[in-house]
Amino acid sequence: MPRKIRVLVAKPGLDGHDRGAKVIARALRDAGMEVIYTGIRQTPDQIANAAIQESVDIVGLSSLSGAHNNLFPKVVQILKDKGAEDILVFGGGIIPVDDIPGLKKAGVREIFQPGASTEDIIKYIRENVKV
Amino acid sequence: MERWEKTTLNKVLSKSPEREPSFKTTSHIELKRLFTPLDMTDLDYCKDLGFPGEFPFTRGVQPTMYRGRLWTMRQYAGFATPEETNKRYKYLLEHGQTGLSVAFDLPTQIGYDSDHPLSDGEVGKVGVAIDTLKDMEILFDGIPLDKVSTSMTINSTAAILLAMYIAVAEKQGVKSEILQGTIQNDILKEYAARGTYIFPPLESMRIVTDLFAFCKDHVQRWNTISISGYHMREAGCTAVQEVAFTLADGIAYVEAAIRAGLDVDSFASRLAFFFCCHNTFIEEVAKFRAARRLWSKIMKERFKAKRDDSCMLRFHTQTAGCSLTAQQPDNNVVRVAFQALAAVLGGTQSLHTNSRDEAYALPTEDSVRIALRTQQLIAYESGVADMIDPLCGSYAVEALTNEIEKKAVDYIEKIEAMGGAIKAIESGYIQGEIGESAYQYQKEIETKKRIVVGLNQFQVEEEPLRDILRIKPEVEQYQKEKLARVKKERDHAKVKDDLAVLKKAAQGTDNVIPPILEAVKGYATLGEISDTLRDVFGEYRER
């Protein structure tokens, strides 16, 4: 039997809107994944360290405050610097469509926008994480 | 009734069943097919409904309601620099807005200056950046503070921002005694839902009650707190939970103030409330009426308030941000209109209508104007403002008002049994309840048990909205440079002394507001004042 997919759901920056992050954490858990939720107000360093320590396969970042262009690429970069570039990073929140190409270029694999369903996210993770 | 059910109704039901086996509100209240006088048999008009402006205030807090004065149209606004936000305020006032509502950026809300490492990427994003009194002077430049009322969504740093507001008013020649407005100052819901806490709960409550005490002597017309259900509702809770958790928090504040030695009637009339108005129209109207009645009873019976205005639940309403869809954003204009109408029929004192593009970003000027116009249409064209509580006496509205009150009381009793709201938050109970409701709501959308027009039904192929408000990245640098200039020019010795006096007050039992006021006048920064308090009070960490 394949092992369970391990996911870190994280809230970078000062944003306290965690409804989406919590709903997604629970939906992924119900879909049979092992999920660690960081809680709010995490720095990119804290998130990357947690991802490595918990040996997750993938990190989901949630931000609704508009700080995604600063914070999401930093998480990717720190993971890379620590030799953990095999941990995939995706994101979601209030993210204008015009920001998506830049985020993808910086190594964020996928961005889910308002209205995305938990099913879409579960499907994305299953297709992109090899266990 | 029985006759109707057996004959006319059954004939139809046997041929074509109803759309659903049962109909429920978002608070899981089972809706009867038909409400009739049978649902009103226990209702005592004078005791349960009464008259506007009189206990138990079910029908509204003012004797003439909107026939006397319309609600305050107050659009929550703030972004980028104080310079830019000042322009937006002037634009809104020119278009007929009647009060200001300040949105601060996250660093300001959490006590960090724009040059703090944790402010990286957040400066000016969700609101305006305020570092020192200088920024506040720019924010209200040319706006007469003796004429407008200003609401500030600020919690853990509320004392600092109110102090800055008082200092700006003083520079305009306006005395604090006549200032009108509100600070949100509701720290409990920050732990439960919104997340901008700094200090642990007990220390935070001390600042809250220090503000109550200071304002009753110096800023008498100011609403010292806006006890908020809005953010818990936005985080996912139901209408009943919104009433219950908000009033439970209210009870905790009143208890804390009484424990701090204040007489209930010396501060209770300055407590204000803040609710969300979501989609389910009748349930929302009933919610506001139920909240008003229940709070009046709590104040009179439990806290023995003697003054009538101590028992009045006055509230601000914002339409439900979480109900907005990124899909077919123009539909949001219609959603917001229904929600706003329900808030008015529920008797709100002030109202913010969300803009159609807020699932994408902070709103553009054009979108905000439509949102404001929506309120003006309700006020001047719909006619609903010409009658007081016009839905009163509707069998359905009264039945739901009773039911919501009853269910909220059950919740409050449960929270009391846990030791009150602070304990219920510390144990994670309230957060758990909110999270559970949010998850159920999402599941209902994904299984199409709940239809969201344009999202899970009636979709179209469409291009995403691109014409949105963008905060320029230069804002951060601009704020940092301005901050550096202010720091260079101020009287350093005074700042040092003022912060030392504040520290001493925080360590002891003296009211911390006067030393904060003194410090802001000397251009001590928001971050410096917050750090001084952090040193003494420590910081809260989520479990």
List residues of chain B with CB under 8 Å from any CB of chain A.
106-107, 109-110, 112, 118-122, 125-126, 190, 193-196, 234-236, 322, 325-327, 359-361, 435, 438-439, 442, 445-446, 455, 464-466, 468, 470-471, 473, 542
pLDDT in tens, A32-79: 999 999 999 999 999 999 999 999 999 999 999 999 999 999 999 999
**pTM more than 0.90:** yes
Distance from CA of B38 to the nearest CA of A (A): 40
Mean pLDDT of chain B: 96
pLDDT in tens, B417-427: 999 999 999 99
Q: Mutation test of the interface with chain A: which of B123, B360, B431, choosing the one with the most A Cβ atoms within 10 A?
A: B360
A65 contacts B106? CB cut-off 8 A: yes
A66 contacts B446? CB cut-off 8 A: no
Provide CB contacts within 8 A for B38, sequence distance 6+: B1
What ipTM does the predicted assembly reach?
0.95
| Structural domain boundaries in chain B | 73-143+507-543, 184-446
Say how far apart CA B168 and CA B136 lie, in whole Å: 7
**Distance, CA of B281 to chain centre:** 19
CATH code of the region B184-446: 3.20.20.240
Q: Mutation test of the interface with chain A: which of B109, B110, B116, B120, choosing the one with the most A Cβ atoms within 10 A?
A: B120
Mean pLDDT of B234-247: 98
- Environment class of A95 (CB within 10 Å of its CB; exposed 0-12, middle 13-18, buried 19+): buried
Q: How confident is the model at residue B542 (pLDDT cuts 50, 70, 90)?
A: confident
pLDDT in tens, B179-200: 999 999 999 999 999 999 999 9
Helix (H) or strand (E) holding A90, with range, is strand A88-93
Q: Is the model's pLDDT at B543 over the cut of 80?
A: no
Q: Mutation test of the interface with chain B: which of A19, A113, A122, A123, choosing the one with the most B Cβ atoms within 10 A?
A: A19
Packing angle, helices B513-521 and B492-507, rounded to 10: 170
Domains of chain A are: 6-128 (3.40.50.280)
pLDDT in tens, A106-119: 999 999 999 999 99
Say how far apart CA B258 and CA B380 lie, in whole Å: 43
Nearest to B118 among A14, A114, A117 (CB): A14
Q: Is the model's pLDDT at B56 over the cut of 90?
A: yes
Least confident of B48-57, B166-175, B466-475, B519-528: B466-475
Which residues in chain B are closer than 8 Å to A113, comparing Cβ atoms? Answer: 326, 464
Residue by residue, DSSP assigns B304-344 as ---SGGGG---EEEEE-GGG--SSSTTHHHHHHHHHHHHHH
Q: Is the model's pLDDT at A131 over the cut of 90?
A: no
**Measuring CA to CA, which residue among B314, B322, B327 is closest to residue B354?**
B322
Packing angle, helices B239-259 and B429-446, rounded to 10: 160
Q: Is the model's pLDDT at B453 over the cut of 80?
A: yes
Distance from CA of B329 to the nearest CA of A (A): 12
